[in-house]
Each structure stands twice: as C-alpha cells, then as structure tokens.
C-alpha cells in the first residue's frame, strides 16, 4: 500500500511567505526560515517553495534565501519561480534544492524540461500548471 506523503507548498513573495486567495490578495504570513523550522518539528515529507513574483518581475531566484531554507530543512526541498535556464537549475542543486518546479518556462521553452532532466534526472524536475476556473 502507498504511504501518504505530506508536502506543504509555501508561496514566497519579496522574501516572505504569503497566503493568497484565488491567485490574488496575497497577505504576508511569516518568515520562510521560521516555517522551515516548524515543518521540521512536524516531520513533513518534503517542502515546496514557489516564488510567485520572480517570473512576473523577470528576476533571478533569491539564491541566498534558498540556500538558508535548504540548509535549515531536515527534509527534501523543492523550489520554483523565475527559472528560465539550465544554469539556474544547476546552481539551485548546488545550494541544496532537490527538486525544481517549472511553470511559465514550460510554455515559453518546452525544451528546457528535457535539458534540465539531462542535468538532474527526470525524478528531480516537476512541471507545475496553475488552473483557474472562469465561469
């Protein structure tokens, strides 16, 4: 029988954690390093961080913050946001990230997925799709 896995997905905006409602109205809810410490105590299976502003603002991932989060975590860390190049993926793996989440770049450059899988292996690359129902 398959084991249930607990994988919280935390949204990052300007270096802090936010909670959104229908992809809007994001409110600050805390410090990501503190959240990692809390989830360490809860013994979750994995943590996923998604920077919701880096792609929109065309900025690089906040490597210093990512390194701090990954070094504090006792579980695998996944990161997504602002990833456009294989070099970024390689750097994130060197910082301690174990999975990469790609969203927007999948639509602009589908070949990026194959290139990233050659570097990291297909088990470490996740394609994310945001769905919003409009009636």
Question: What would the pLDDT profile of 64-106 be if each residue is shown by its tens digit?
Answer: 999 999 999 999 999 999 999 999 999 999 999 999 999 888 8
Domain parsing of the chain, residue ranges: 9-127
Say whether pLDDT at 24 is over 80: no
State the Cα–Cα distance between residues 5 and 78, nearest whole angstrom.
14
Which structure tokens are listed for 89?
């993926």
Whole-number Cα distances in Å, 61 to 3, 7, 47? 32, 21, 17
What pTM value is reported for the model? 0.87
| Residue-wise pLDDT tens digits, 42-74 | 999 999 999 988 877 888 999 999 999 999 999
Which structure tokens are listed for 52?
């919701």
State the Cα–Cα distance between residues 96 and 77, nearest whole angstrom.
8
DSSP string, 55-90: TTTT----HHHHHHHHHH-SS-EEEESS--SHHHHH
45 is catalytic: no
Q: Say what the pLDDT of residue 135 is.
A: 62
CATH class of 9-127: alpha beta
Q: In which band, very low, low, confident or very high, does the pLDDT at 107 lie, cut at 50, 70 and 90? A: confident
Choice among 31, 51, 109, 130 that is catalytic: 130
């Amino acid at each position: 029988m398959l084991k249930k896995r607990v994988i919280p997905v935390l949204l990052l905006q300007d270096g802090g954690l936010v909670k959104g409602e229908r992809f809007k109205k994001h409110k600050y809810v805390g410090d990501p390093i503190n959240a990692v410490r809390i989830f360490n105590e809860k013994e979750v299976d994995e943590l996923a961080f998604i920077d919701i502003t880096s792609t929109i603002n065309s900025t690089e991932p906040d490597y210093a913050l990512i390194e701090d989060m990954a070094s504090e975590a006792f579980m695998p860390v996944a990161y997504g946001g602002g990833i456009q190049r294989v070099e970024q993926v390689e750097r994130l793996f060197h910082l301690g990230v174990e999975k990469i989440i790609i969203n927007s770049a999948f639509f602009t450059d589908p070949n990026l997925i194959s290139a990233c899988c050659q570097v990291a292996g297909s088990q470490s690359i996740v394609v994310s799709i945001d769905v919003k129902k409009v009636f």
